[in-house]
Structure 1
Amino acid sequence: MSTASRLSVAPMMDWTDRYCRGFHRVLSRRTLLYTEMVTAAAIIHGPCERLLRKGDDEHPVALQLGGSEPEELARATALAAEFGYDEINLNVGCPSDRVQSGCFGAVLMKTPALVADCVGAMIAESPVEVTVKCRIGVDDQEPEIVLPDFLSRMSDAGVSRIIIHARKAWLQGLSPKDNREIPPLDYDLVHRMKAAFPDLHLSINGGIGADAVRAQLRVMDGVMIGRAAYHQPWDILGDADRLWDEAPPFSDPVDAAMAMRPVIHEWLEEGTRIHQITRHMLGLFHGRAGARRWRRTLSEGAHKAGSPAEALALYDRALDEVGNLVEAAAWN
């Protein structure tokens, strides 16, 4: 899994569901994918099967858990083991109000001893690697002091792979959206952590685009990309497999969109609505001929398509339109 995490797509609430992951897997065979965060309590007390179900073709794929009670996280990890994830990740980075009220996410940066107990309990129940995703600190913490202490405690607890979002999280006064944009990035600090902890596999996250991946990999073991991978999937994932010295599955986004057709057909036959799938694909042609037509056709028609046949016809129409525009642009 350390090789797979050379490039990963971040866990993103309401975005990285099974349909998003299925689409991303078509674009890249090697990139490590993450689920949305699922709380340990939801797995134990809620619809476990629905929350943890994934496609057999999603691998390598990691489950991200949220929680702060070691026994609860251990039980959720044991239940998740039956679903065959390649990694279990603990969320110590999300700053949302929902997460804080449950005493997990970024607020756990304030209690590293508790996090160590949590991951220790998870490791005891997990057949696969347990990892942590964290921030460099929260609120008035001094990252230069807090982060190395946190990494040392995680290492002592048995964690060997950690993803660091190179921003602080402000738990009061900033929205989750602002916390992804306003606190300044400190790549240099994260780079120093790699030098200070050479035995840890450290990935960097936060504000990284396609043009910066290789430069970061000269310093770090892995790069995790979030919003850019979602909004510009082809730019990030279309060529990603070359990081493993492998040819990418497709040479252009039109071919990738065509390869998604049988996948979409299968999902529609299961009862999935076309909007649940195509909402994750709107950025496929970002910055390319036909991008606006692609988005408009899928967005405006998705809610009108009632049957699987109508939904697939809508997708075919969007494909035809963007294909014609791409061909016309090539001739001009």
Structure 2
Amino acid sequence: MTPPTDRCGHVTTSSGVNDAGAVCCYRPTWRDGDRCLWHTETVVPTPAYEEHVPAADERLDGANFREATLSDTSFLAGCSLVEADFTDAVLDGADLSETDLRRATFRDVDAHGTSFRGANLHDASFVFADLRGADFRDARLYRAGLTDVRLNLETAFGDRTVYEDEFDAASGNDVTARADSVQWVYRELQRVYDENAFPERVHAYYLREKDFRRRHAWRTGAYLRAIKLAGSRWIMHYGTSPWRVVATSLVLIVVCAGLYPLTGGVQEVGTDSAVTYAIEDPADTPGRVLVRAFLKSLYFSVVTFATLGYGDIQPVGQWARAIASVETLLGSLLMALLVFVLTQSVES
């Protein structure tokens, strides 16, 4: 059915946009044009928009805001603006929270301080956009294109994407879909912050992505991957913290040093007569003997961890030798991890 000549008649098909569907605008034409205020090809002055404030949930799909000045406005918050065009618009300080902006275009837009909080930006496109100070917390950013955008430390995406909350509540096939969304958003944020030279934000979202991968692995039964990620988290903070590797190494050395005297002891063979340092009952052993046995075991533990193999002290008994073998293997692994993490730190 063709709309009357005094009606807009603009059709937005929203093809491929879930729950959107086609919509034909039946609003009255604006001035002498053939389209309404929201779909006209001419630049609309800000007062004209303010005189025709839409309802909070009104559908303005396909609206044309090219070169519009909407600074500090809030009348679009909560509206449906699927496939809207904001090319060259000035949006600094505008409130677009809870707005449906799927497939919207933000090219060469000034969105400094704009609130997109809770907005649906699925498949939206930001190109050469100034997003300094913009608020994207709780926004749906899956597959939103952020190309050559400008950010600063006041640009807020939140510590946790909204898709993580949905992942926690999801079941069945939705688990995989939500997991893909979470990981995509965190990777995209890492890329964008890296382009804007904010390494601390890149680091934060990298850790967030790894933490989520670990949670996802546990939930989906990929236990081997989950254990691997959990170990990476605690030992080297996903390859980002050499201090954690050092701390883990020190803990291993001290623990093994405490176990040697209790599992057969260590024997000093570099003297005229072999001396064994072992403890059968710590409660009945004098303090001086405990300290001496621990110090000798600590020395042996350091030598074993570092695979130096001086040979002046040897483990006594099968359990002590087994512990020494395990410590040697773990020591080699931890030293290799330390080199890897240090290399990563230098390259980044």
**TM-score normalised per structure 2:** 0.21
Q: Which has the higher helix share?
A: 1
Structure showing greater radius of gyration is 2
Larger RCO (CA within 8 A; separation ≥ 6): 1
